[in-house]
Amino acid sequence: MEIFAHRGASGNFPENTIAAFMEAARLPVFGVEFDVHMTADGELVVIHDESIDRTSDGTGYVKDMSLAELKKHDFGNWFSPEFLGETIPTLADVLEVFDSTDHKLNIELKSDIFPYEGMVEKVLDLIAERQMESRIIISSFDHSAISTVKRFNPQIETAALFMEVLVHPMDYLNKIPTDALHILFPAALRPTIAEVINSGMPVRTFTVNDKTYAQTLKQAGVQAIFTDYPEKLYSFFLSK
Ligand code: G3P
Ligand code: MG
């Protein structure tokens, strides 16, 4: 079972911060997942929510703030005072952390609520600049963004994200088109997902922090899990 550190090692570190990514980079896990939004001045930043309210000492939407404004806020103290001083990372900052590791990097484009015009092009340009194409999976709940990635660069691996129970998933996935399916844990165990697995398309499941569920998914043929506790799940599969 391949293990992805979800939002970095987000169980024990503030999600989507350099602290969480440094921990993931230290671990011998397969990959890391993180979420990308775009600022008012067109910068790519790594944060899960559309707003900074939950994970910082500030309020407001990322799309309405410049990178300089966002950088004034603390993104560590909400999690624990130990992490006071963490700031919002840019996508370039995060790619830099993994520059000399061999982790697979799953960039999730969070353009499903706000469309972030031009974000796909900016992400692809940055990946090309850093020559990281072969290490990247771009995923999104915004399947139009996945289509756009494939149109601009068919070599980049993509994944469509779903939370729903799917009917005839292969018809839809091939239409987008996409290389893989990333799906919420309970929906991953429905019989229609076995069709996807049997077709040879990778199926990866989020968010799995429980060892028993992870084992069940492995038996079902799921290729990878996203977990907030990468070290724990990695050790579990190592011991099997
Ligand atoms: O990419 C897997 C997972 O991160 C999708 O859901 O809400 O945690 O970004 P979310
Ligand atoms: Mg995500």
108 Cα nearest atom in ligand 1: 1
Q: What is the largest CA-CA distance in the chain?
A: 49
**Res 23: pLDDT:** 98
- Nearest 10 degrees: CA dihedral of 214, 218, 222, 225? 30
Sign of CA dihedral 69, 77, 96, 110: negative
**Res 80: pLDDT:** 98
**Nearest CA, atom 5, ligand 1:** 206
**Res 53: pLDDT:** 98
**Res 15: pLDDT:** 99
| Residue whose C-alpha is closest to residue 122's, from 37, 15, 65, 21 | 37
DSSP SS3 for 113? coil
**Can you name the CATH fold of 2-36+100-238?**
TIM Barrel (3.20.20)
**Res 240: pLDDT:** 82
**Nearest CA, atom 1, ligand 1:** 108
- The tokens of 209 are what? 């922090």
Strand ranges inside 14-58, DSSP E: 31-38, 44-46
Return d(Cα 99, Cα 114) in angstroms, integer: 29
Bridge-based pairing state of the strands 2-6 and 31-38: parallel
Q: Phi and psi for 7 in degrees, rounded to 5?
A: 55, 35
Return d(Cα 220, Cα 203) in angstroms, integer: 10
35 Cα nearest atom in ligand 1: 9
- The tokens of 229 are what? 């506790």
Which residues of the chain have a pLDDT value below 70? none
Mean pLDDT, the chain, as a whole number? 98
- Tell me whether residue 48 is one of the annotated catalytic residues: yes
Residue 230 Cα, ligand 1 centroid: separation in angstroms? 15
Check 6, 37, 73, 103 and give the catalytic one. Answer: 6
In this structure, are residues 39 and 57 in contact, taking their beta carbons and an 8 Å threshold? no
**Res 128: pLDDT:** 98
